[in-house]
Amino acid sequence: MRANDDDILSTAQLWREQGKGVALATVVETWGSAPRPIGSHLVIDEDGLFLGSVSGGCVEGDVVAQALEVIETGAATTLEFGVADETAWRAGLSCGGRISVYVERID
């Protein structure tokens, strides 16, 4: 898992150095049962290519979509996912947990 994080952060640096627009998503809070621990990363490039995970695959699609906007605007944002959200049915966590994901652009 940690080696994985190494790959993700190195990839984030590599992609940016190659001149691509890059965003980094990080799980910053979890409530209840969450599939990935706090601190887990997902790196996304301007074409929507991504590496890593912030959940068991349930919310990655939404995070990638939001990340493309963050790459565009440069404004970091915190996304929340969970059963209490209206997004639950669209991009919900079947495990019933809640997670908060911070998405920032690599400048």
Partner 1 sequence: MKLALLSRLNALRAARRGGVLVTDLASGAQRLLSEDDFSGDALGEEAAAALRSGRSAMVEQDGRKVFLNVQAPPTRLIIVGAVHVAQALAPMAALCGHDVAIVDPRGAFASPERFPDARVLAKWPQDAIAELGGLDRHTAVAAITHDPKIDDPALSAALSAGCFYIGALGSRKTHGKRVERLAAAGFTTEQIGRIKAPIGLDIGSVSPAEIATSVLAQIIEAQRKKPPRPST
User: What does the binding site for partner 1 look like in residue numbers (CB under 8 A)?
Assistant: 2-3, 6, 9-10, 12-13, 16-17, 24, 26, 28-29, 37-39, 76, 78, 102, 104-107
Smaller CB distance to partner 1: residue 12 or 59? 12
To the nearest whole angstrom, how small is the minimum distance from the Cβ of residue 62 to partner 1? 19
Question: Diameter of the chain by CA atoms?
Answer: 40
3-state helix, strand, coil in the chain (%, to 5): 30, 30, 40
Smaller CB distance to partner 1: residue 29 or 69? 29
d(CA 68, CA 63): 9
Nearest Cα neighbor of 61 from 86, 40, 44 is 44
3-state class of 11 per DSSP? helix
Residue 4 region, left (φ>0) first, then alpha (ψ -120 to 50), else beta? alpha
To the nearest whole angstrom, how small is the minimum distance from the Cβ of residue 82 to partner 1? 16
To the nearest whole angstrom, how small is the minimum distance from the Cβ of residue 73 to partner 1? 12
Smaller CB distance to partner 1: residue 83 or 106? 106
To the nearest whole angstrom, how small is the minimum distance from the Cβ of residue 23 to partner 1? 10
Smaller CB distance to partner 1: residue 3 or 89? 3
